[in-house]
Amino acid sequence: MELVIDVGNSETVLGIVDPGTLDLREHWRLSTPIPRTPDEYGLLLRSLLSDSGISQDDLTMAVLGSVVPSATRILTDALEQIVGEAPIVVDAGSPLPIRLDVDEPLTVGADRIVNTLAAKEMYGRDTIAVDLGTATTFDCITAEGVFVGGVIAQGLESGLEWLGRRTAKLPRVELIPPERVIGRRTEACIQSGVFFSAVDAVDGIVRRILEEWQREEVYVVATGGYATVIGPHAQTVDHIEPFLTLFGLALAGRSIRG
């Protein structure tokens, strides 16, 4: 089994993928900002595996993609203890069957790199991957696996945090689809504003990309932590795959290992 880890600024998502397939057997979400030592990560990983009935002896490799360098170093040490060998760390210099056709390819984040690989292998068509995480990213990927750029926008959490931090009388609320646009309580007004702003932003930016990119029959895939919340309400989204990045990491690890 393959242990894949996607380290984002807010959350670290871990998954167990069956070798030779893209079947996700188990997944977990951890808070990235909580400081942990390699030993603490090791204990936590062993506990998660054990609780899921998975032996660390069954792990054939670990693949790590990270946009947080400090966490990369710590997790690399922890994963070496768990798997018995250093993890495969995916970055812009990794030998993958994709191309980063942008002005500064070495600055492209690991998540966008593996999303490109996953879109190429899983869909085989021109794709816009809308990743709804800490930030909301829009990745333009050709059928041949060429990342041609995209958009980085603020994430949903940032809108909620900004309102809670900058407005003394407005409460923090949970981001859930509201029953109606016009709220009758303060909490409902905030939910409506943040939620529908996010939905309309997805649709608006996707439509602008389609107009500028000039490709036919582009497939729009929503992924990331908020994909199942926002995706069903966005008119431009064709498919929801919350774990596209984890599948991309598994594909990257297999490609690099050969």
- Cβ burial, residue 211 (10 Å; 0-12/13-18/19+): exposed
Q: Which of 6, 111, 126, 131 is catalytic?
A: 111
CA distance 55 to 44: 14
- The 3-state DSSP class for residue 141 equals strand
CA torsion sign for 111, 114, 116, 121 is negative
Neighbours of 75 (CB within 10 A): 26
- Cα 181 to Cα 175, 188, 194: the distances in Å are 14, 9, 11
| Side chain identity, residue 211 | E
Q: State residue 94 phi and psi, 5-degree precision.
A: -70, 140
> Considering only CA atoms, which of 145, 141, 75, 149 is closest in space to residue 107?
149
111 in active site: yes
Active site residues: 111
